[in-house]
Amino acid sequence: MQIEQLEIIDFLRAHPPFDALPDDVLENLASAIDVSYYKAGEQIIELGQPSGHWYVVRSGAVEVYRRDGTLYNRLTSGGYFGESGLLRHGRVRFPAKALEDSLVYLIPGPAFLDLFENHDAFADYVELEDHARLRQVMSRREDANDLSSATVDTLVTREPVTLERSATAHDAAQRMTQEGVSSLLIVDENPDVAGTPLLSGILTDRDLRTRLLAPGLPLDTPVADIMTPNVVTVAHNQLVFEAMLAMLRHNVHHLPVMKHQRPLGIVVLSDIIRYESRNSLFLVGSIFRAQNTDELAALVPDMRASFTRMVAEDASAHMVGSAMSAIGRAVKQRLLELAEAELGPPPVPYCFLALGSMARQEQLIVTDQDNALILDNSFDAARHDAWFKALSTFVSDGLARCGYTYCTGGVMATNEKWRQPLAAWERLFTDWIERPTPESLLHAGIFFDLDGVWGRTDWAVHLRKLIARKARGNTRFLACMARNALLRTPPLGFFKDFVVECDGRHTRAINLKRRGTAPLADLIRVHALAIGSQALNSFDRLREIIDAGILPQGRGQDLYDALEFISTVRARNQADEIAANNEPDNSIEPETLSDFERKSLRDAFLILSNAQKYLKFRYQPGRSN
């Protein structure tokens, strides 16, 4: 074999889609390839000319154009073009010329078509666009993960055991013993539909111990007095993962499964453990049992272990982010309980807010703390603020000890600026929307992702409704938010290769949060505000955005896949750093990724780049949205 052919084979092996081809196929292909040299500015193929070859860039740079003359793509070493003409009608559909002096491999049309017909992986890779390739990657991950597809009703193994609300505790204990169950659903007559009972509450072994036996109540105590009302439930067609999140968020171990407003069965903790690491579920219980900040801080290694295990088990980034946010929420709630135990009851009602990634349920292991306080309108700073300052300090210092670093921008309840009565928050948010300034737009990007974690959480819901109502249709505000969302761009250079930078201990790195997940969350938030969505999670927002039909066909799913993939790489990188006993961060060096991961990451960043261009177009000042 000639040296030139060996060089061609080595080059092809190093680049997809050739890297998956057998050696004998590569050898035959190399012998059929011609090499052409093109000077900068020289036309390689013209629109409409017969398609005779498929072209692979060996060195240099090539520009590919659409029919209307606008730039379609820039290609460097390993890039390819000309497949559209060979696959459709035999005429060039995308003309190309050399941007700089370039060497190009010319693969004869019959050889290309033979590869396309006989090697499915090759054909799939060549035929798909950037966004479609990423969709294929994400589909395979979803298909391989039971948590992504298993629904709650698959865990139900028997009908629920029920008891009337008028029964006694003794009746309940006997029934639980006879049926061999650890919980009963307490039902009441439905005044609207005869024969269809209403779910009134749930009674568990723990309820009997803590609410009947421990206080020494008589056995004829009505179950209505010792049951848990306002039951947390899941719908039969929700995912197992969503049931896990409900357990994490509400710290419960029994979940009634509902179908058409009737209980179908009960899912218990042991059912979920079959699908999900027990660490994340048990960890929340440990958090609420902690007696002081020292005991909470001692759980940090368990938090990291839970995170790394979920990543190792190939849980999706959506799942990991939701679970870690639920853990962070539990830490905040326990700190607030401990603070109130030390400081005494609050002088006026309040709501402690989570902001940013925790509110969006997108938190990973590397995060800071963004929080604020909504106070009752009767709040008087002279009489009450000392108590709330002490509360905020207790919680903020506790969070820092548990791995949630202080916010460098001061977006914490310890800052008196972010301890305000409800009416003041209403005025502030209204002013930010109706009279946006550069500073208020930065604040809106943080504070408009808010969730109540303690106290009067309905106030947080009220503020989200206010934001949705006032932002929708406000073209000036949306244009300003869109402009702000374009300040952080994906790390792609002129030739769509990665732009790396120094970041901390990394010399040639990409900050996946600053250049990836953050700008994605920003642009998704703008679209969500435009349709009046009150969803918090970016994936949930995207579902509503897709349903609203404000994006070009298929582009919502592209954004979903891009966010999932970049977040997955970010999570895996943090887990790898923990395993190597390094302090995790948000930066990754592209050289450490496989060719496949680099290609998929590039596809995801291209989707982000195109989505930002569309955002700029859609929310131009004065344009009707």
One domain, residues 313 and 204: no
417 DSSP assignment: G
Torsion of the alpha carbons at 549, 550, 551 and 557, rounded to the nearest 10 = -50
Compute the average pLDDT of residues 583-594.
86
pLDDT at 277: 46
Q: Is residue 140 part of a domain?
A: no
What percent of the chain clears pLDDT 90, i.e. is strictly above it?
A: 53
Residue 498: pLDDT band (50, 70, 90) is confident
What percent of the chain clears pLDDT 70, i.e. is strictly above it?
A: 90
pLDDT at 153: 83
pLDDT at 3: 78
One domain, residues 264 and 289: no
Per-residue pLDDT at 146 exceeds 60: no
Rg (CA), the chain: 29
Q: Is residue 142 part of a domain?
A: no
One domain, residues 81 and 220: no
Compute the average pLDDT of residues 420-442.
95
| Predicted confidence (pLDDT) per residue in 106-128, tens digit | 999 999 999 988 988 788 777 65
Q: Write out the residue range of the structural domain in which residue 80 sits.
A: 3-130
User: What SS3 class is residue 56?
Assistant: strand
Q: Which residues contact 541 (CB under 8 A, 6 or more apart)?
A: 524, 525, 527, 528, 533, 535
Q: Measured between alpha carbons, how far is 522 from 538 in angstroms, rounded to an integer?
A: 9
Q: Measured between alpha carbons, how far is 53 from 85 in angstroms, rounded to an integer?
A: 9
Tokens representing residue 257 in the block: 């499964």
452 DSSP assignment: E
Tell me which of 419, 449, 471 is where a domain ends. 471
pLDDT at 235: 87
Tokens representing residue 415 in the block: 């800052």
Instruction: Give the DSSP per-residue string, 299-357.
Output: THHHHHHHHHHHHHTT--HHHHHHHHHHHHHHHHHHHHHHHHHHH-S-SS-EEEEEETH
Per-residue pLDDT at 268 exceeds 50: yes
One domain, residues 444 and 548: no
Q: Measured between alpha carbons, how far is 127 from 221 in angstroms, rounded to an integer?
A: 70
Compute the average pLDDT of residues 53-60.
93
Which of 33-42, 131-140, 150-159, 369-378 has the lowest average pLDDT? 131-140
Q: How many domains does the chain have?
A: 4
Residue 278: pLDDT band (50, 70, 90) is very low
Select the highest-mean-pLDDT range: 63-72, 397-406, 610-619: 397-406
Tell me which of 258, 275, 292 is where a domain ends. 275
Compute the average pLDDT of residues 432-448.
94
Per-residue pLDDT at 192 exceeds 60: no
Q: Is residue 491 part of a domain?
A: yes
Compute the average pLDDT of residues 326-351.
95
CATH number assigned to the domain comprising residue 313: 3.30.460.10
Name residue 74's beta-bridge partners. Answer: 63
Which of 26-40, 164-178, 182-196 has the lowest average pLDDT? 182-196
| Predicted confidence (pLDDT) per residue in 444-479, tens digit | 999 999 999 999 999 999 999 999 999 998 999 999
Compute the average pLDDT of residues 309-315.
80
Q: Which residues contact 191 (CB under 8 A, 6 or more apart)?
A: none
One domain, residues 545 and 612: yes
One domain, residues 462 and 491: no
Q: Is residue 144 part of a domain?
A: no
Q: What is the mean pLDDT of the chain?
A: 87
CATH number assigned to the domain comprising residue 495: 1.20.120
Q: Is residue 476 part of a domain?
A: no
One domain, residues 318 and 458: yes
One domain, residues 170 and 261: yes
| Predicted confidence (pLDDT) per residue in 546-556, tens digit | 999 998 888 89
pLDDT at 315: 80
- Is residue 201 a contact partner of residue 228, using CB atoms and an 8 Å limit? yes
Per-residue pLDDT at 410 exceeds 50: yes
Tokens representing residue 8 in the block: 């061609």
- Is residue 376 a contact partner of residue 421, using CB atoms and an 8 Å limit? yes
One domain, residues 62 and 190: no
pLDDT at 144: 47
| Beta strand extents in 383-466 (DSSP E only) | 419-421, 450-455
Tell me which of 250, 275, 300 is where a domain ends. 275
Per-residue pLDDT at 524 exceeds 90: yes
Q: Is residue 576 part of a domain?
A: yes
One domain, residues 156 and 115: no
One domain, residues 17 and 67: yes
Q: Is residue 478 part of a domain?
A: no
Q: Is residue 143 part of a domain?
A: no
One domain, residues 433 and 285: yes
Strand order in the sheet with 234-235: 234-235, 254-259, 262-268
The answer to whether the bond into 17 is cis (omega within 30° of 0) is yes
CATH number assigned to the domain comprising residue 206: 3.10.580.10
User: What SS3 class is residue 407?
Assistant: coil
Tokens representing residue 299 in the block: 């759980």
| Predicted confidence (pLDDT) per residue in 596-615, tens digit | 778 888 889 989 998 999 99
